[in-house]
Copies of this chain bind each other. A is one copy, B any other.
Amino acid sequence: MGCCEGYGTKKLINDPFKVTIESIQGLVNAYPEIVKQIGPHVVARKDAPVKGKVGVVVGGGSGHEPLFIGWVGFGMADVGVLGEIFAAPPPPLILEATKAANGNRGVLYVYGNYAGDNLNFDMAAEVAVAEGIETEAVRVWDDVASAPPDRVEERRGLAADLFVIKIAGARAEEGASLSEVKLAAEKARDNSRTFAVALSPATVPTSGKPTFTIGEDEMYFGIGAHGEKGVRKTGLLSADATAQILVEEVLKDLPYRTGDEVNLIVNGYGSTTLMELFIINRKVNEILLNSGIRIHRTEVGNFLTTQEMAGCSVTLMRLDEELRRCYDAPAVTPALTRCGPRR
């Protein structure tokens, strides 16, 4: 991988222009006890809309599975809406999702901070309000590589989507108001930071082309989930050296300090094996413990992927009582199941 400029990866697909809707159908077919299909691009938890509960709508481009619709279900998102691969969902689809989530206590949008998503969710919100549905939005911007700390609102959203959606979903399940759910989701976002590295590009199904080129022995730190410009190319580093860089960039940004308690995600982007992610986690764990930072919960796996891109990211969320409680709360979704505080 990463060796053949211009040569894309073989894919198990049918019509490249139907991968999004066929993939969504396949997910709904797999988990009929958890979700139902509202439209070709919209999936809701089976019992949506839940009357008297704030609705949580999540979405963005497809191609990052299990992100977003993998987290639709009890305790997380009420409805997920996907655009085509790496493309924001159009406003009418977001409106369709909004209506499916509307339990008459308002709807919170949670999505990654990308220009297309921002525009389309804002446009959908205007129509929703005109139709009598109150909405709020939390844009996730955890990627420290994409703008300096004094301009966080220019940063891209990465794996902290998982934290923010879990917190919003749990708070909504507790019966909180729209403003309370929004505040909790913002707190989750504001206490989260991510730094990422890629070893090989993804192939976009419609073009068959890699998202970027990289040398056989290169790594690219800070690159975005769609091949956006990164901050540093290096030679091929060891897992421990890689983990050191990823954690250091995250720690110094918030900054996280001795005595903090955090949740941790070691996220794989696609073809990086779970074996490698565990080796990364081993070092991340060691560095955090040596820094006097306590890890409450760790997630290791593929959460926000970029097709079959090789690489990983480290995300921390600093906890307080509310964030800890909401993250530990039960959830039943295709990609994340939690029975209670002890998982």
A interface list, Cβ under 8 A from B? 1-4, 7, 9-14, 19, 22-27, 29-31, 33-34, 62-63, 65-66, 70, 199-200, 216-217, 219, 236, 238-240, 242, 266, 270-282, 285, 298-300, 302, 305, 307-308, 310, 312, 330, 332, 334, 337-340, 342-343
Contacts and interface: CB of A to CB of B under 8 A. Distances in A.
| Residue from A3, A199, A300, A338 whose CB has the most chain B CB atoms within 10 Å | A300
Contact of A312 (B7, B12, B282): B12
Contact of A7 (B3, B7, B33, B70): B3
Contacts of A242: 12
Contacts of A266: 30
Contacts of A62: 275
B11 A276 contact: yes
Contact of A278 (B26, B275, B298): B26
Copies of this chain held together in the complex:
2
A238 B14 contact: yes
Contacts of A302: 274, 302
A339 B337 contact: yes
A298 B33 CA distance: 10
Contact of A279 (B14, B305, B338): B14
Given A22-B278, A26-B279, A66-B274, 9 more contacts: A2-B10, A3-B7, A9-B200, A10-B216, A30-B299, A33-B342, A63-B273, A270-B273, A274-B302
Contacts of A307: 273, 275
Given A29-B285, A34-B343, A236 B279 contact: no
Nearest to A271: B271
A19 B240 CA distance: 12
Nearest to A342: B33
A46 B299 CA distance: 18
Given A216-B7, A342-B332, A310 B308 contact: yes
A207 to B, nearest CB: 15
Contacts of A281: 26-27, 29-30
Contacts of A305: 273-274
A12 B66 contact: no
A271 B11 CA distance: 10
A1 B242 CA distance: 23
Nearest to A30: B298
A277 B240 contact: no
Contacts of A31: 298
Contact of A12 (B11, B199, B330, B340): B199
Nearest to A219: B10
A162 to B, nearest CB: 15
11 contacts: A10-B236, A10-B310, A12-B277, A13-B239, A22-B282, A25-B282, A26-B278, A65-B275, A66-B274, A271-B310, A274-B302
A323 to B, nearest CB: 18
Given A282-B29, A330-B339, A339-B332, A308 B2 contact: no
Nearest to A70: B274
Contacts of A22: 239, 278-279, 282
